[in-house]
Amino acid sequence: MTFTFEGIDHIQLAAPPGCEAESRKFFGDLLGWTEIPKPASLQPRGGVWFQCGIHQVHIGVQMDFRPAAKAHPAFTVKDIAALHLHLKKHNLFVIEDDARDEEGVQRFYLHDPFGNRLELLEWDS
């Protein structure tokens, strides 16, 4: 083969129409991700894009939206304990999970405002 995969450019999470303000509050204000401009040709579709570390997360409008309850992205975090405390202070429900402790992975789950499952994890140094 002459082709190779280089990695992930972005992930897209689906959300219902009118999701932009709530996306900005959750991903931008609460998680601290930076909003990035969408290309003009895609702006009429709605949604909002964010920078998360070296990757992008696109929140895309889906007319017949249903949250992803099992399939999910997993985001690596530096100082996951501080993030956990930050989320708790903002009254967000986190789902504890110690299934990977023996591998040196601390992790938990939460749901975005639209019900999509998100995994947050940190590898022990």
Instruction: Report the CATH number of the 10-123 domain.
Output: 3.10.180.10
Closest CA to 27 of 55, 3, 58: 58
Give burial (CB, 10 Å; 0-12/13-18/19+) of 49: buried
The pLDDT assigned to 5 comes to: 87
Task: Report the predicted TM-score, pTM, of the whole model to 2 decimal places.
Answer: 0.93
Contact 50, 56 (CB under 8 A): yes
Q: What are 67's two structure tokens?
A: 């949250």
Compute and round to an integer the Cα radius of gyration of the chain.
16
pLDDT of residue 41: 97
pLDDT of residue 113: 97
Domain ranges of the chain: 10-123
What pLDDT tens digit does each residue of the chain (125 aa) get?
999 989 999 999 999 999 999 999 999 999 999 999 999 999 999 999 999 999 999 999 999 999 999 999 999 999 999 999 999 999 999 999 998 989 999 999 999 999 999 999 999 97
3-state secondary structure of 88: helix
The DSSP bridge pattern shows strands 105-111 and 117-123 to be antiparallel
Whole-angstrom distance, CA of residue 111 vs CA of residue 22: 13
In the prediction, which pLDDT does 125 show?
76
